[in-house]
Amino acid sequence: MARICLHGYVSGLVQGVGYRQHTEQRAEHLALDGWVYNLADGRVEVLLEGEEAAVQELAAWLKKGPKQAMVDAVELHEQPLQGIAGFIVR
């Protein structure tokens, strides 16, 4: 299966609720590469890279997030592969 890369932003109540840590755990479980980062404006920025089905699975989960989160919107766009190894919380 093909590898893809998605980059984007998650808005809503997504900071201070474990969103980045849960994203990292799910990404590692799905063997994805990339990162997740809190922005100063309250959004979370993500970059997901890996097998298309796994990336799409995590992209779908981002719309819900952990139990404490209240996601308003997820905006993801495909971009060229970045060649990142591993997944980190930035």
Q: How far apart are the first and last CA of the chain?
A: 28
Annotated catalytic, 26?
no
CA 35 to chain centre: 7
Provide the phi-psi class of 60: left if phi over 0, else alpha when psi is between -120 and 50, else beta.
Answer: alpha
The single residue of 3, 20, 43, 90 carrying the catalytic annotation is: 20
For the annotated catalytic residues, the residue numbers are 20, 38
